[in-house]
Amino acid sequence: MLFLEGKLPQPLVEYLEATYDSELSTSDISVAIVSLTMLLLGIFSSIGLYRLKKASRNLFIGVNVLMLFLSPLYGPVVIDTFSYAFDGLAEISAGFIIAMSYMTDVLEGQQSQEESA
């Protein structure tokens, strides 16, 4: 809201102010808890991929797919163009990471090195 006020039309500013002033419902809290859990799982899977753990790629793709299916539960979202662009870049990067983890043999090579040691 800090950066958006000057760039948004008045009806959207009023909508944002109304959503900030409203009380949190039980469904809002449950969606927040699930989202925080997915965020933590995403961080753990990213660290696992960095450390070349094979199970991390399944967790990474699962978290990304689940977050895509959970996104309609958030309701309407008003963000500026830069945030939207970075969000798109993050999704594209996640797709590249998934493709690299499944289409290269880096994770299999790391696992065979661990078994031989």
Question: Each residue of 52-104: pLDDT tens digit?
Answer: 888 888 899 899 888 888 888 777 777 777 888 898 898 899 888 888 888 88
Q: How far is CA 24 from the centre of its chain?
A: 22
Residue 34 lies in a domain: yes
Number of domain units in the chain: 1
Q: For residue 77, what is the DSSP state?
A: -
Whether 20 maps to a domain, the answer reads no
Domain-embedded: residue 37: yes
pTM: 0.68
Note down the domain range covering 37: 25-116
DSSP 101: H
Q: Using CA atoms, how far apart are residues 46 and 56, in angstroms rounded to an integer? A: 7
